A and B are shown apart, each in its own frame.
Chain A
Amino acid sequence: EIVLTQSPATLSLFPGETVTLSCRASQNINTYIAWYQQKPGQSPSLLIYDASNRATGIPARFSGRGSGTDFTLTISSLEPEDFALYYCQQRSDWPLTFGGGTKVEIK
């Protein structure tokens, strides 16, 4: 099973700051990583697929990078609605797995 490790668990930031979230895979997963955002009381929603492709309607301030085992999601100039939980997910092999999540909270 491919284990995804997200770090840090929590980030406290001010609106307007830029944040980079990390997701590390336990083995090479090429670029088969996605990022999801989940707000309290809501379902997750897709932000980025295949490491760097923004899903439809996702603002350009969200960007994803990486390949192999190390991946990042950068949110430039945090907006109030960006404070949420973020998960990564790999599709390189079965079972599909998710990272444990990073919470981005308002400082």
Chain B
Amino acid sequence: EVQLVESGGGLMKPGESLRLSCATSGFMIDNYAMTWVRQTPGKGLNWVATSSGNGGEIHYADSVKGRFTISRDNSRKMLYLQMDRLKVEDTAIYYCTKAMTNLNQHLHSWGQGTLVTVSP
């Protein structure tokens, strides 16, 4: 069974940094693209970043490019999101997701999410 467990969320001030982690199990992470998606409470879904299976291809939403870094440690079955220079508008639930395949970016499995709140 695929399991994705996020951690690392919290209450932060603008300009601070935070690292989210996603522990994975039940599948070979090397074979799958992994994506972070965020959702402002009560609002819709927004794609944040995607890493290919070997980490060699990475894409970011314009809103986070240059501030967030997605990375993975396949040997530890972990996905990360380093969030620097946080802004109030980064407040959201952050979901770790597993893609259908390394090339098919539909989101097969979702974690329970971790809440990041950025407030002055």
Contacts and interface: CB of A to CB of B under 8 A. Distances in A.
Contacts of A34: 106-107
Sort chain A's interface into a size bin: 20 to 34
A43 B106 contact: no
Contact of B47 (A44, A49, A55, A97): A97
Interface residues of B, number: 21
Given A91-B104, A91-B106, A98 B95 contact: no
Given A94-B59, A95-B61, A95-B62, A44 B45 contact: yes
Nearest to A42: B112
Contacts of A91: 104-106
Nearest to A33: B106
A89 B112 contact: no
Closest 5 CB pairs of A and B: A91-B105, A34-B106, A96-B47, A43-B110, A49-B106
Interface of B: 35, 44-47, 50, 59, 61-62, 95, 100, 104-113
